């Protein structure tokens, strides 16, 4: 087996986390363009590179709010506020900087970054160990023998690294059961309800006993009356919520391993960071 180690970055997750962590920062270019979130994004990125020593890096992005999930359920993520006004101009600029560092930017309209991450990770996991850098626990469904999910915790360089064993130990589930849990409980941050009245504790108990939603439905008559009634009353939403929760790993995108080979040219990087007034970051990659 080869020694490739591929870091797949959830770009939007890092950028939003960086924005709120750096909200106090007045960083701006001479024309007034804010760069505080970009600065924090690059800190997080370089911290992870130093921590995991990847041979390859690729970055995935959302490409707008409308996706196949909003087609299925109009209220999907409708509770999300608009992006802060001073973050909006940083969306395109951060991608320009990522591209200048020779890191591919991957995204496709109609799909979320999660779907691109899932697709790329599964395609390249046969070529090396994959580490998905994110703050989104939905990604835990992607864990397998070759794919690790690195959840960013509070502070820099503070991670929970999920493999199959740690996922079972920490969450009590197998990867596919992450989807089943969401089908049962819904997801308030993504604004879909699951089965009304079923919380995580009950969902985990049901999945421990019956393994999957299909297994639960096959054993409805064995469930406590109140649980059975709740599931029967919300069957349609149960199935829809599971569909919304499932990451699509067949997005029509591609990225060859050669394209995402990690290796920053320090001379080029120096010019780049001088241009964007971020030279203090050079020490993280030199």
Question: Is the separation of the CB atoms in 240 and 185 below 8 Å?
Answer: no
Pairing of strands 5-10, 129-134: parallel
Q: How many CA atoms lie within 13 A of 137 on its CB side?
A: 13
| Cβ count within 10 A of residue 232 | 13
| pLDDT tens column, 189-243 | 999 999 999 999 999 999 999 999 999 999 999 999 999 999 999 999 999 999 9
The H or E element spanning position 83 is none
What the chain holds in terms of domains, given with CATH numbers, is 5-171+251-281 (3.40.50.1010), 175-245 (1.10.150.20)
DSSP designation for 192 = B
Q: How much is the pTM?
A: 0.95
**pLDDT tier for residue 88 given thresholds of 50, 70 and 90:** very high
């Amino acid at each position: 087996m080869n020694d490739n180690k591929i870091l797949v970055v959830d770009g939007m997750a890092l950028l939003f986390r960086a924005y709120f962590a750096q909200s106090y920062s007045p960083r701006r270019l001479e024309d007034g363009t804010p760069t505080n979130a970009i600065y924090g994004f690059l800190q997080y990125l370089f911290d992870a590179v130093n921590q995991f020593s990847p041979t390859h890096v690729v970055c995935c992005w959302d490409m707008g709010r409308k996706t196949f999930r909003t087609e299925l359920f109009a209220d999907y993520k409708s509770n999300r506020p608009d992006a802060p006004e001073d973050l909006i101009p940083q969306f395109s600029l951060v991608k320009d900087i990522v591209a200048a560092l020779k890191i591919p930017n991957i995204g496709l309209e109609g799909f979320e970054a999660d779907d691109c991450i899932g697709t790329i990770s599964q395609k390249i996991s046969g070529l090396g160990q994959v580490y998905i850098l994110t703050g989104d626990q939905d990604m835990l469904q992607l864990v397998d023998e070759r794919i690790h999910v690195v959840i960013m915790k509070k502070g820099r360089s503070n991670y929970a690294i999920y493999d199959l064993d740690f996922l079972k130990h920490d969450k009590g589930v197998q990867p596919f059961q992450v989807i089943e849990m969401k089908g049962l409980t819904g997801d308030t941050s993504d604004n879909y309800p699951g089965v009304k009245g079923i919380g995580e504790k009950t969902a985990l108990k049901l999945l421990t006993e019956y393994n999957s939603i299909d297994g639960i439905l096959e054993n409805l008559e064995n469930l406590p009356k109140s649980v059975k009634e709740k599931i029967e009353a919300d069957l349609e939403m149960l199935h829809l919520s599971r569909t919304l929760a499932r990451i699509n790993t067949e997005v029509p995108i591609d990225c060859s391993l050669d394209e995402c080979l990690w290796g920053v040219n320090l001379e080029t990087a120096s010019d780049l960071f001088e241009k964007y007034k971020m030279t203090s970051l050079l020490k993280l990659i030199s």
